[in-house]
Amino acid sequence: MKKLLIASTSTVHGKAYLEYILPQLSDFFKGIHEILFIPYARPSGLTHEEYTNRAKEGFNKININLRGIHEFDNPVDAVNNAKGIFVGGGNTFLLVKQLYEHKLISTIKNVVENGIPYFGTSAGSVITGVTMQNTNDMPIIYPPSFDTFGFLNLNLNCHYLDADVNSTHMGETRETRINEFHTINKIPVLGLREGSWLQVEGQKILLKGDLNARLFQQNKPAIELPPETDFSFLM
């Protein structure tokens, strides 16, 4: 049975890396002393080692050790032997390309669908959807496919931002871009605001945190849904 914690972001304003969600992570990975970290998204040009060290600082606070997948000779074996997995944020295009190159899409999907707990933030959350097509990231590199894990029967727009009614900016809003996606695609899209996350157990998907999420569906008005909403109806 799938067990996932899918967070919009790793860091909320005014708090340290993962600080806002550490109590939930402690419970989520209860009984697990070491998890595998996948740093392939590499935010702001960090090396894999630098990014892993940042993630370690967060997990050290709840007495869980992290090992970066780059520390292993065989990435597939590392995933198959992992007791838990964390995929961090950064650039989704880079992340997906690396996952395909290392033949990890099917490998991670298999272990997670067989019960290994998966935690994702930002780009690491986007890839839990059907495709990565609702990422906010620049296409700095071209992955072989936009198809991702499909743990959810929807796509995610992490760091979702509402339009500022006082802004004079004439560019597209997040809502405009998601609606554009729906002129061609039928996949539902959930706008997940910073500080929110999805808790997934099997087919049950609960919205957690203090903020609403915004659900977009083709040919339907967008709707606001409150914390504790069960999104299983989309599965």
Instruction: Give me the helices (H) in the chain, please.
Output: 22-28, 48-60, 75-80, 92-101, 105-113, 123-126, 174-181
* Distances from the Cα of 145 to the Cα of 77, 131, 133, 148, 182, angstroms: 23, 9, 10, 8, 19
Instruction: Considering only CA atoms, give the Rg of the chain.
Output: 17
| Catalytic machinery residues | 122, 137, 159
Catalogue the E-assigned strands of the chain.
Answer: 3-7, 34-38, 65-68, 85-87, 118-121, 155-158, 189-192, 197-201, 204-208, 213-216, 223-225
Alpha carbons 187 and 180: distance in angstroms, whole number: 12
Q: Which amino acid is at 125?
A: S
Separation between Cα atoms, residue 88 and residue 7, nearest integer Å: 10
d(CA 7, CA 122): 7
